[in-house]
Amino acid sequence: MCIRDSFGADWCGACQELDRDVLSDPRVVSEAQRFVTVRVDLSSEQATDEKWALLKAYDQPGLPLVVLHHSDGSEASRITGMVESDAFLKLMDAVR
């Protein structure tokens, strides 16, 4: 099974835009059914030291972060900002 790790927060404008315009696109939602989605909420009331450590483990300085993993666990691609739905779908399609 492929994995999609997603880090975001309610105070992150780019995260909200990605959620609203890309991750909720019906085509992306449909393609995401073959992924196990792990959502890490770093909103002020939800953030913990453990969650920030997960983000740090990806050597990522900020949000948003979406990491797509192949079924063998290797990283396929990383999204660190706004992308269009078509580009996101192309990245998802390449994950096996």
Dump pLDDT digits (tens) for 11-56.
999 999 999 999 999 999 999 999 999 999 999 999 999 999 999 9
Answer whether 63's CB lies under 8 Å from 14's CB.
yes
Question: CA 35, CA 56: separation in Å to the nearest integer?
Answer: 23
Tokens matching residue 48: 């913990």
In this predicted structure, the answer to whether residue 94 has a pLDDT above a threshold of 70 is yes
pTM over 0.85: yes
Beta strands of 1-96 (E only): which ranges? 2-8, 35-41, 65-69, 75-79
| Cα 67 versus chain centre, distance | 5
SS3 16: helix
